[in-house]
Chains A and B, each alone.
Chain A
Amino acid sequence: MVSQRWFFVLVLLLVVLPVPLQAQYGYHFGRNKIQYEDFDWHVLKTEHFDIYYYPEMQELAENGAHFAEEVYDELENKFSFSLNHRVPLIFYSSNLHFKQTNVTQGFIPDGVGGFFEFLKGRVVVPANGNIHRFRRVIRHELVHVFTFNKLSRIMRDHRVPADRFLPLWFTEGLAEYWSGEPDYQHEMIMRDAVFSNYLVPLENMYRIRGSYLMYKEGEAVFRFISEVYGEEKILDLMDNFWKERDFRKVMALTLNEDFQVVSDRWDEWLKAKYYPELEESDAATLIADAVAAGGFNAKPVYYQFNDGRRKVYYVGNKTGYSNVYETEVDEHYRPIDKPRVLIPGERNDKFEAFHLFESRLSVSQDGQLAFVTKSGQHDVVHVYDLEADELGHTYSFDGLVAVYSPAWSPDGTKITFSSIDKSGFADLYLYDIESSALSRLTNDAYDDRDPSWSPDGRYIAYSSDRTSVGQGDHYNLFTYHLDSGTIQYVTYGEHHDFAPNWSPDGSQLIFTSARRDEDGKYGGQDIWIADVELTPDPSPEVASVAPVSMPLRPASQREFRRLTRLTSASFDPVWTEDNRIVFTSFENYRFTIRQLDGLDSLLAAPRQRSVVDLSQASGKHWNFARVGLDEGAERIPYRRQYNLDIAQGQVSNNPVWGTTGGAAMAFSDMLGDDYWYVTLYNTSQTQDEFLRSMNVAVSRVQLHRRANIGYGLYRFGGLRYDITDPDAATEFPVFFETIYGGFGAISYPISMFRRVELNTSLNWSDKEVAIRNVQREALLLSNAISLVHDNSLYGMNGPMDGWRAKFTAAYTTDILYSNVNYFTLSADVRHYFRIWNDVTLASWGLVRANEGREARLFFLGGSWDLRGHRLFSIRGQKMWFTSHELRVPLLRAPSLYLPILAPFGVANLRGAAFFDAAHTWNEDYYDTAVSSQRRAQLGTGETLGAVGAGLRVNLFGGFVLRYDVGYRYSNGFRDRDDKLFKQFFFGWDF
């Protein structure tokens, strides 16, 4: 479902608007968040935590329990604080399972490591193969838990309203800082920010709110505070938070220095830390030519066609959607054409998503491009025939959830890849295409990734933390010998050695490595070469799929050459047939594809040579401790218990409706699978009317299955304002109605982009339209079926690419008296054509008809649809409407020009030129008995429209303010109002 958020809205609307089942605004678009898995949840109760997990990931869950308990003691000291409640930790074994969580209603994009949710204090963390990352994210999220509880306590102690929040850079920076030592990614970002001069000063951190840069800069701020002012100042900052609303003042009084001075000192501290390295470093932009530079680009591979053409393939995101791109290059690897989208991603069921940062591409010698996408509940491997320029087979594998980095065998008959099954551990697999046989090469808790097949077909090189120094989150390179199943070291040391690829002759491995400099911090992630002498293989053996009894072989030495010393980082180098290196470069906060020539001279005069004695590699296995049943934990099956999420009461007074009062409550279980809503309110104006005007609704929404189900009972009584009711007076459509009934709703997602919705309701309705002397009773049965499609891409102000549509058929009948009997057909299609990067032509077509007895009216008018016309002033049982809008950018960051706008979060000022047209009519349109006056009141029978232009701006990242100016047209566009109309509106573009 989509967005389950929209399903909630739908269900609530069904409760509130039961009779007009097809209420005009009673539906929404949105993509679907699908629960593919029926998780068998259990709870592991440790000393401080309730850990929710499923049995397939028991080992990981026990590791996670250990990590949580381990950091709990540390955080008690650091925060000088204890938690007085058990913390719920919800674990998933992979990102693909994590994306199905119901703890949050929103979509979880790739790259989200976990989250802490305030309502129930839940922490949700996926593992995804890398146990070090799993550990770090647990620590990160538990810092959030302590921060939140400590700060709440401080505010309550001082009786200060909790209406202020720590800046996000503070909470995320602290969570990063107290979750572990600065890693190589931290150094990569900070070094690049300093060298490329995009470091955002402390006073402007709000401008990068939520970005990865903000996390890393925040972490650097805490390292600075700790080093310069003392670690204790971090708690002082929290202890003093209640003193000032402006956090800059809190920092100033805590650090005893003017805020600007603190900011400047931080800037100087960073420059003093990194600038000395600059003299020895090379910028990738200066030593390597760009192959693909616009947008995000990564994971390149290279192929030379039979006709001599050369192309570089890579995954990228240049427009908002992720795709596989191809760029044709000349013999010097200079692009000779614009990048072309080879595989359009994120728009259809087959290519739902690419793992942009995690999964490499591979091209076989005969031009078969292998790549991975998410497709439904798991990842699949696709093969694209480059010579024939057509998509070939798609391979999916039972039991495997996530798949990464497929690599072809030299003869193109097999594919090896890294994969995660439900246990959450990443291992290597081999798939024989001809026999369709899948075999598992490794089977342990180590993170095996980035496989690459040797040209002679005997070895698979890959990166893994199985090294004896792996417990410290280090990765080395290994070879897997396919004949014997033995695994041997290629590199050894406290490094992060990733992404090996073979030289064409198979004598070298090219890879990236991040290593600590002499000062202890990580240097740039550079390109290295390892001389690989495979026959005879002298390096020690560390593991085997079959027990191997042979002793470690004699010590051997291996030479490594560092080809680059980059200012920032390189990724996924590929050694081409003509001795060039194609790689991904990170510099100036951009990922670009570059090529490095002169490989011979680089090999002859590398930036560094090192020789490693591989006999140091002991081959010793390591593993993290676990907290399981043997360590005192208790395991029980998960049972749903409902806790109050929100309770809200309200009393209002209105000259038309009188005094109304009521309350609404929502309850849900720990996993967010099951929601109950109770609504109670009364609209009586006199004591006698109290029972008659009592409104009660109870509904339930279940989200744990693929099909989301909602149902409920209700009783409504009171005055209703319903502009869709054909019996109601035109000018003042108010009547008294009593309704009893129930409803059911099912939303079944066909894929991420499409779903079927079924809705039904049965209710008894007693309607009294006093002003028209109408009294009507009915037992109404309404059924509807809808098909919804949505692959639109949202910008800051609304959709900018893709299309969405909803087609509905419904039937409503009075099964007792036949007082009501009508059917509904509706088609709503919206298309967004991207003319240029930021320029979109949006087109909307809408056709609707209600036909039959007491068929309800549709309505138009107002800034949402037919602009310039009074809100909902156009009503009819049949209608068509179309709108076309050219959306263009004006200013991306208006607050850069007018800083006073910055506190209001003003962003992305855009312009629009629009054209709207509509026509409504009723079944009695041609009936002379119906007066022209009534037709005029309803605005039926003529084509109306509007033409104009407007401005849109996003506020606080969530609200879009629209302002339109234009001319209103009527009588088939023959008449135009003399005056311009002007309209404000809050809401996304259609």
Chain B
Amino acid sequence: MNKLHLVGIGLLALTLFGCRGLKVDNARIASQDDWVTEGDSPLRQHLSDVQLQPPLQERWQYNAGAGFGPGSPLILGNVVLVATRKGELHAINLESGKRVGFDNFGDALEGTPVINDGFLYIPVGWGKRVLYAYDLANARTHWTKRGIPIEAGLLATEQGIVAVDTEGVITVYNPETGDVFWSQSFGESVLVKSTPLLSAGNLVVVDTKGHVLALHPEDGAIKWTQQLEAPVYSSMSSNEEVLVVPTTRGILYGLDATGGGMRWNVALPDTTVRFSAPATDNETVYVAATDGVFRALDIRTGAEKWTFEIDAAFAAPPLLTPDVVYIGSLGNELFGLDRSTGRLLWETELKGRVKSAMATKENKLVVLTEPRFVYLFETVEGGPYAATP
């Protein structure tokens, strides 16, 4: 083999593996603005305190090569991390929309990964069934746990990384080593699709049969349980006081976040309606559904505050900013609504359906759409709803 061959092989390797690996500068320094978990916090509130006033303008589009699950993109520093159903994780420069990193984890990434202290934890629910701990600073796999099918998103707590597999086993892993701190189960093999959350000192998990389980985060001891009358497939949300649980049969539950008692429920006449993951603040729960109605309800009573209705169905959670709530539809549209009245402020047409959660940082909004596009929208200087200091 002569030198020319070696150069050729080198160039080929560069072509094939260029950008392979996910490396993020200053990965271990996450700011308040970063979006490191589904819904931005363990409460899954989908709530940002940064003004993002419409009209928004499209800054870039990125072709991720495959579709997305119901989970959320993540933002760390200047990088957007997006997982696809082809098993790929793309790192995209927030400003330019150019790919800065990429890795393939073999099979579909359905649940949202989580970033914790510079490590990205990635669940692969099918095929290899692996939980990866990926070092973003060094672009290498730190540890793996095999044979664990996880389709729900992950939760990072002080105790460790919480994963709930498709057989209903809840496990907390040591973030550094992957060792198991504790493990708990529903008592039977049940499917879990909803991302766990941490609220009022409880680690809360719900399965697709409507069993809600609140555990002590430190040892997994069961604190309370609640049996709902409908399956739960989407993620919950909480404001520390009320735990809002969406179901697939037209019922939305508001549970007491501390003790699990039933505070209220909203039951629609049409039992085929599926609620998507809600967003919450201290006063209101915002929830969309497949009946094409986006509802704002009093979080303490479940009473309706306002509704916004469209022709197409909703399947994705909304995203709350101080004045505006954003919601994408299965009708290829993104809406910006007045958070207090539900009045339509702005809308734009996208290339495909929105069925994933969104993320925001500074004046930027990241939206995942079918068939395989990542959009970045940002505020327009001087617009009617220009950013306020």
Q: Is B231 engaged at the interface, CB distance under 8 Å to the other chain?
A: yes
- Chain B residues contacting A232 (CB-CB under 8 Å) are 208, 231, 233, 248
* 8 Å CB interface, B253-304 against A: 270, 272-274, 290-292
Q: Could you tell me if A84 and B352 are in contact, using CB atoms closer than 8 angstroms?
A: yes
| The one of B86, B248, B270, B330 that contacts A82, using a Cβ cutoff of 8 Å | B330
Using A82-B313, A159-B66, A256-B191 as known contacts, say yes or no to A153 and B272 having CB atoms under 8 A apart: no
| The one of A78, A80, A156, A157 that contacts B315, using a Cβ cutoff of 8 Å | A80
User: A145-156 toward B: CB 8 Å interface, digit per residue (1/0)?
Assistant: 000000001001
Q: Could you tell me if A230 and B274 are in contact, using CB atoms closer than 8 angstroms?
A: no
| The one of A48, A159, A230 that contacts B209, using a Cβ cutoff of 8 Å | A230
Say what secondary structure dominates the interface of chain B: loop
Nearest B residue to A230 via CB reads B231
Q: Could you tell me if B66 and A77 are in contact, using CB atoms closer than 8 angstroms?
A: no
Q: Could you tell me if B274 and A80 are in contact, using CB atoms closer than 8 angstroms?
A: yes
Q: Is B106 engaged at the interface, CB distance under 8 Å to the other chain?
A: no
- Chain B residues contacting A48 (CB-CB under 8 Å) are 311
Q: Is B147 engaged at the interface, CB distance under 8 Å to the other chain?
A: no
Q: Is A76 engaged at the interface, CB distance under 8 Å to the other chain?
A: yes
* Distance A48 CA – B313 CA, assembled complex (angstroms): 13
| The one of A73, A84, A153, A243 that contacts B332, using a Cβ cutoff of 8 Å | A84
| Interchain nearest-CB distance for A116 vs B (Å) | 21
Q: Is A387 engaged at the interface, CB distance under 8 Å to the other chain?
A: no
* Distance A157 CA – B331 CA, assembled complex (angstroms): 17
Using A77-B291, A232-B248 as known contacts, say yes or no to A157 and B67 having CB atoms under 8 A apart: yes
* Distance A47 CA – B312 CA, assembled complex (angstroms): 11
Using A77-B291, A84-B332, A256-B189 as known contacts, say yes or no to A156 and B313 having CB atoms under 8 A apart: no
* 8 Å CB interface, A223-246 against B: 230-232, 236, 242-243
Q: Is A772 engaged at the interface, CB distance under 8 Å to the other chain?
A: no
* Distance A81 CA – B329 CA, assembled complex (angstroms): 10
Nearest A residue to B191 via CB reads A256
Nearest A residue to B108 via CB reads A158
- Chain A residues contacting B274 (CB-CB under 8 Å) are 77, 80
Q: Could you tell me if A158 and B67 are in contact, using CB atoms closer than 8 angstroms?
A: yes
Q: Could you tell me if A157 and B231 are in contact, using CB atoms closer than 8 angstroms?
A: no
* Distance A236 CA – B248 CA, assembled complex (angstroms): 12
Nearest A residue to B249 via CB reads A231
* 8 Å CB interface, B196-255 against A: 208-209, 231, 233, 248-249
* Distance A584 CA – B105 CA, assembled complex (angstroms): 63
User: A137-168 toward B: CB 8 Å interface, digit per residue (1/0)?
Assistant: 00000000000000001001111000000000
- Chain B residues contacting A242 (CB-CB under 8 Å) are 108
| Interchain nearest-CB distance for B219 vs A (Å) | 28
- Chain B residues contacting A159 (CB-CB under 8 Å) are 65-66, 85-86
| The one of A74, A156, A231 that contacts B371, using a Cβ cutoff of 8 Å | A156
| Interchain nearest-CB distance for B123 vs A (Å) | 15
Q: Could you tell me if B290 and A77 are in contact, using CB atoms closer than 8 angstroms?
A: yes
* 8 Å CB interface, A41-86 against B: 47-48, 73-74, 76-78, 80-82, 84
- Chain A residues contacting B353 (CB-CB under 8 Å) are 82, 84, 153
Nearest A residue to B125 via CB reads A243
Which of under 10, 10 to 19, 20 to 34, or 35 or more describes the interface residues of B?
Answer: 35 or more
- Chain B residues contacting A236 (CB-CB under 8 Å) are 191
Q: Could you tell me if A157 and B370 are in contact, using CB atoms closer than 8 angstroms?
A: yes
Q: Could you tell me if B85 and A158 are in contact, using CB atoms closer than 8 angstroms?
A: yes
| Interchain nearest-CB distance for A146 vs B (Å) | 11
- Chain A residues contacting B121 (CB-CB under 8 Å) are none
- Chain A residues contacting B209 (CB-CB under 8 Å) are 230
* Distance A393 CA – B292 CA, assembled complex (angstroms): 61
| The one of A80, A84, A231 that contacts B290, using a Cβ cutoff of 8 Å | A80
Using A80-B290, A232-B231 as known contacts, say yes or no to A157 and B85 having CB atoms under 8 A apart: yes
- Chain B residues contacting A256 (CB-CB under 8 Å) are 189, 191
User: B178-203 toward A: CB 8 Å interface, digit per residue (1/0)?
Assistant: 00000000000101000000000000
Using A230-B209, A256-B189 as known contacts, say yes or no to A77 and B270 having CB atoms under 8 A apart: yes
* Distance A243 CA – B68 CA, assembled complex (angstroms): 16
Q: Could you tell me if B371 and A157 are in contact, using CB atoms closer than 8 angstroms?
A: yes
What is the number of residues of chain A that contact chain B, defined by CB distance less than 8 Å?
23
| Interchain nearest-CB distance for A901 vs B (Å) | 32
- Chain A residues contacting B248 (CB-CB under 8 Å) are 231-232
| Interchain nearest-CB distance for B349 vs A (Å) | 11
* Distance A817 CA – B191 CA, assembled complex (angstroms): 83
| Interchain nearest-CB distance for A857 vs B (Å) | 56
Q: Could you tell me if B330 and A73 are in contact, using CB atoms closer than 8 angstroms?
A: no
Q: Could you tell me if A73 and B291 are in contact, using CB atoms closer than 8 angstroms?
A: yes
- Chain A residues contacting B233 (CB-CB under 8 Å) are 232
Q: Could you tell me if B68 and A77 are in contact, using CB atoms closer than 8 angstroms?
A: no
| The one of A73, A77, A80, A153 that contacts B67, using a Cβ cutoff of 8 Å | A153
| Interchain nearest-CB distance for A240 vs B (Å) | 8
Q: Is B126 engaged at the interface, CB distance under 8 Å to the other chain?
A: yes
Q: Could you tell me if B66 and A76 are in contact, using CB atoms closer than 8 angstroms?
A: no
User: B295-325 toward A: CB 8 Å interface, digit per residue (1/0)?
Assistant: 0000000000000000111010000000000
* Distance A230 CA – B248 CA, assembled complex (angstroms): 11
Which one of B191, B231, B313 has the highest number of Cβ atoms from chain A below 10 Å of its Cβ? Answer: B313
Q: Could you tell me if A243 and B231 are in contact, using CB atoms closer than 8 angstroms?
A: no
* Distance A752 CA – B330 CA, assembled complex (angstroms): 47
Q: Could you tell me if A78 and B272 are in contact, using CB atoms closer than 8 angstroms?
A: yes
- Chain A residues contacting B291 (CB-CB under 8 Å) are 73, 76-77
Nearest B residue to A254 via CB reads B191
Nearest A residue to B232 via CB reads A232
Q: Could you tell me if A153 and B370 are in contact, using CB atoms closer than 8 angstroms?
A: yes
- Chain B residues contacting A73 (CB-CB under 8 Å) are 291-292
Q: Could you tell me if A82 and B329 are in contact, using CB atoms closer than 8 angstroms?
A: yes
Q: Could you tell me if A80 and B313 are in contact, using CB atoms closer than 8 angstroms?
A: yes
- Chain B residues contacting A47 (CB-CB under 8 Å) are 311
* Distance A515 CA – B322 CA, assembled complex (angstroms): 60
* 8 Å CB interface, A242-256 against B: 242-243, 256
Q: Could you tell me if B330 and A81 are in contact, using CB atoms closer than 8 angstroms?
A: yes
Which one of B68, B272, B312 has the highest number of Cβ atoms from chain A below 10 Å of its Cβ? Answer: B272
* Distance A48 CA – B273 CA, assembled complex (angstroms): 19
- Chain A residues contacting B290 (CB-CB under 8 Å) are 76-77, 80
Nearest A residue to B65 via CB reads A159
* Distance A159 CA – B68 CA, assembled complex (angstroms): 11
* 8 Å CB interface, B314-353 against A: 315, 329-332, 352-353
* Distance A635 CA – B181 CA, assembled complex (angstroms): 67
| Interchain nearest-CB distance for B220 vs A (Å) | 23
- Chain A residues contacting B231 (CB-CB under 8 Å) are 230, 232
- Chain B residues contacting A78 (CB-CB under 8 Å) are 272
- Chain B residues contacting A74 (CB-CB under 8 Å) are 272
- Chain A residues contacting B208 (CB-CB under 8 Å) are 230, 232
* Distance A212 CA – B322 CA, assembled complex (angstroms): 58
Q: Could you tell me if B273 and A156 are in contact, using CB atoms closer than 8 angstroms?
A: no
User: B82-119 toward A: CB 8 Å interface, digit per residue (1/0)?
Assistant: 00011000000000000000000000100000000000
User: B61-86 toward A: CB 8 Å interface, digit per residue (1/0)?
Assistant: 00001111000000000000000011
Q: Could you tell me if B86 and A76 are in contact, using CB atoms closer than 8 angstroms?
A: no
- Chain A residues contacting B65 (CB-CB under 8 Å) are 159
- Chain B residues contacting A76 (CB-CB under 8 Å) are 290-292, 312-313, 330
| The one of B108, B272, B332, B370 that contacts A77, using a Cβ cutoff of 8 Å | B272
* Distance A744 CA – B189 CA, assembled complex (angstroms): 69
* Distance A671 CA – B331 CA, assembled complex (angstroms): 27
| Interchain nearest-CB distance for B333 vs A (Å) | 10
- Chain B residues contacting A81 (CB-CB under 8 Å) are 313, 315, 330
* Distance A625 CA – B155 CA, assembled complex (angstroms): 50
* Distance A243 CA – B270 CA, assembled complex (angstroms): 31
Q: Given A77-B291, A81-B313, list of 19 further CB < 8 A pairs?
A: A48-B311, A73-B292, A74-B272, A76-B292, A76-B312, A77-B290, A82-B312, A82-B313, A82-B329, A156-B371, A157-B66, A157-B370, A157-B371, A158-B67, A230-B208, A230-B231, A231-B249, A231-B272, A232-B208
8 sampled A-B residue pairs with Cβ under 8 A: A47-B311, A76-B290, A77-B273, A80-B274, A153-B370, A156-B67, A157-B68, A158-B66
A-B residue pairs, 4 tightest by C-beta? A157-B67, A82-B330, A82-B312, A77-B272
